Amino acid sequence: MTEDAMKLFREMSQWGCSPGAETYLVLIRSLYQAARLSEGDEMIGFLRSAGFSDSLNRKAYYGFIKILCGIERVDHAMKIFRMMKGYGHAPGIKTYDLLISKLAVHNQGERANALFKEAVARGVPVSPNVYKVDPRYVKVRRRRRIRETLPEKMARKRRRLKKFRLSFVKKPKPARRFI
């Protein structure tokens, strides 16, 4: 679907149509949802060069960041966040809350705390919360296997073989006494 939209976008100039700000914004959203991040960034550049930079407001940037956080691309969302601040758009509570929560879930607590402190310094009323880290992003320590010596290995094998051999022996039934 995104590929069809990009094809149509390229053909617009052949038909004598020029894309508007909304066309660019929809294409950027679609590219980000399809995880085509570099093309989405390139399209933002095209939007700015076409003279529609006023349509890139705080709401549009929040939409991009929300999409990127939804597809688990938090680092790229932070890049868009920095771009947003660089062009003079002040992020709001929703933007800070979304990024702080996603950074915390992705086990990037230091970055989340830095963002929280930045929000407080800017005067954005962000409330501190407790976030649970997603187990997919937690580094698990692997148990180091200790190499066993040859006598330990032989003893382990002997015990296992003995248990295996005894599994074929018929077990005695308990004797009942009649009195």
Residue 8 shares a structural domain with residue 44: yes
Tell me, yes or no, whether 112 lies in a domain: yes
* Integer Cα distance of 85 and 91 in angstroms: 7
What are the helix (H) ranges across 34-149? 37-49, 58-70, 74-86, 93-105, 109-122
Instruction: Classify residue 108: in a domain, yes or no.
Output: yes
- How far is the C-alpha of 87 from the C-alpha of 64, rounded, in Å? 15
- Asked whether residue 144 carries a pLDDT value surpassing 70, the answer given is yes
* Confidence at residue 179, expressed as pLDDT on a 0 to 100 scale: 63
Return contacts of 2-10, CB within 8 angstroms, 24+ apart: 2/30, 2/31, 2/33, 2/34, 2/36, 5/30, 6/31, 6/39
| Predicted confidence (pLDDT) at residue 2 exceeds the cutoff of 70 | yes
Domain count of the fold of the chain: 2
Instruction: Write out the residue range of the structural domain in which residue 122 sits.
Output: 72-137
Q: Are residues 50 and 77 in the same domain?
A: no
Q: Would the CA dihedral through 37, 38, 39, 43 be positive or negative? A: positive
Do 38 and 3 sit in the same domain of this protein? yes
Residue 41 shares a structural domain with residue 80? no
Does 120 fall in a domain? yes
pLDDT in tens, 16-75: 888 888 888 999 999 999 999 999 999 999 888 988 888 888 999 999 999 999 999 999
The distance in angstroms from the start CA to the end CA of the chain is 87
pLDDT digits (tens, 9 = 90+) for 80-121: 999 999 989 999 999 999 999 999 999 998 999 999 999 999
User: Structure tokens of 45?
Assistant: 């550049």
Residues 31, 86 within the same domain: no
Q: Are residues 78 and 52 in the same domain?
A: no
Do 76 and 101 have their domain in common? yes
Could you tell me if 46 and 94 lie in one domain?
Answer: no
pLDDT of residue 101: 93
In a domain, 162, yes or no: no
Distance in angstroms (rounded) separating the CA atoms of residues 116 and 32: 25
Does 111 fall in a domain? yes
**Are 131 and 79 within one domain?**
yes
**Is 81 domain-assigned?**
yes
Domain-located, residue 149: no
Residues 77 and 119 in one domain: yes
Residue 155 lies in a domain: no
